[in-house]
Amino acid sequence: MNFKGKTYLYAVLTWLIPIVVSFFMYDPKTNQYLPNIPVFKSVMIALTALLAYYFFRKIKASDTASPWYAYAILFVVICSLLDFAVLLTVFKVEFSVWAMAIFPVYLIVFFGFGYFMLGKKSA
């Protein structure tokens, strides 16, 4: 697969922007998410989906030679590796929590947008 440098940047930004936003939704004094955990999770999922849509649209605009699923796999791998480096090691999120709450979102969002936005082009 021959990905452009911007594709890697898009994948990193898809992970980084929600993390930065999450810092503003967390109160370290009370160790709570603001306003509450369901709203926090909803915002993170919606933001990840919005960014995936935006970046996959940019990828579609540049003539891509790689199949759609290669982009989905790339985004899942990069976001997962960054999660391992930050969430699991620094913030001590348990692997089982990550695997049940975060990883499925990556699979659904990246493979969903990858297929519906990039898959139609190669079919």
> What is the end-to-end Cα distance of the chain in Å, rounded?
18
Provide the domain count of the chain: 1
Among 62, 52, 63, residue whose Cα is nearest residue 115: 52
pLDDT averaged over every residue in the chain: 91
Residue 122 pLDDT level (bands cut at 50, 70, 90): very low
Instruction: Give the whole-number percent of the chain exceeding pLDDT 70.
Output: 94
- In the numeric block, the tokens 């021959």 are attached to 2
Per-residue model confidence as pLDDT tens digits over 78-118 = 999 999 999 999 989 999 999 999 999 999 999 999 999 88
* Domain encompassing residue 106: 5-122
